Amino acid sequence: MTLDFSYCVLDGAGAVVVESDADRVHSTASVGKLFLLCEAAELIASGQLDPDGLVRRDQEAYVADSGLWQHLRQEELPLADVCQLIGAVSDNWATNTLLDIVGMDAIESRARALGCHHSALHDRVRDLRLPEHPPMLSSGTARELAEVARRIHVAASGAHVDGISAAAAAAVQRWLLAGVDLSLVGAHFYLDPLAHSSGDILLWSKTGCDTTVRADVGVAWRGESVLAYAALASWPAGADLDDHPVDLMNALGRRLAADLGREAD
């Protein structure tokens, strides 16, 4: 059985470099946390949230799987550190803690401000998703999510875009540059997963992984050459796949790395 695989790559001006089935709506797992980070960054930039204010994790917000906070003894962290945990390791406990502060309505409004009609964060992270819960954590299209990534990068450089301020975008980009998951599109840039916030080629990404989902959204750039991308794969539970989604995303990343002049080590 063939999986559904969509991708969209944009240059810095928003022109399509390459795309395939870019308007298909996929489940995107943790990718929707990107909207949470954008809204939190905007609230910090506007002075409505204090980045140094201490945030206490709620035991009722605990979720297993991705993240470091569950392994730490510290019950309180500065708000900016909570955001950093989400950007670096997609921390689930940090996500739910920050979501309780920011609120789902504000996150939905941020997604719309960023030009999204089909891409959104729908719910908190849950160990068990019951029938009364939204059926997926987040969803989106490759076209919309690539444009969100592009806007973050362009705004972080100081230019005006709709949906996010320069200060907020710079914070989001800084948090995501520490992201450790370079296993999908980012694999063929041959960057150090634990230290790639400086160098000739830079890349930030927000990935999502579930039993029937692989997703990767981000930006790679070298000087003035910018490639914003989204690659989304989803498939039915129990399907015997003809193509592995990780291989397809690696292949897309190899093309982007070549376009930016990155040679394998």
What pLDDT was estimated at residue 265? 44
Is the per-residue pLDDT at 1 higher than 60? no
Return the residue matching tokens 């989204």.
230
Q: At what angle do helices 104-113 and 33-45 cross, to 10 degrees?
A: 90
* Class for the domain spanning 4-259: alpha beta
Sheet holding 26-27, edge to edge: 26-27, 138-140, 120-121
Calculate mean pLDDT across residues 160-173: 98
Quick one: which of 227, 218, 176 has its CA closest to 197?
176
Q: How confident is the model at residue 65 (pLDDT cuts 50, 70, 90)?
A: confident
Query: Does residue 213 come out as left (phi exceeding 0), alpha (psi in the -120 to 50 range) or beta?
Result: beta
Q: How confident is the model at residue 36 (pLDDT cuts 50, 70, 90)?
A: very high
Report the share of the chain in percent with pLDDT over 90.
89
Q: What residue segments make up the domains of the chain, in order of their start?
A: 4-259
What pLDDT was estimated at residue 2? 77
Residue 193 neighbours by CB under 8 Å, 6+ apart:
180, 181, 182
Q: How many residues are present in the chain?
A: 265
Calculate the dihedral angle through the C-alpha atoms of 126, 176, 47, 119, rounding to the nearest 10 degrees: -50
Q: At what angle do helices 79-89 and 166-176 cross, to 10 degrees?
A: 50
Calculate mean pLDDT across residues 235-245: 83
What pLDDT was estimated at residue 263? 54
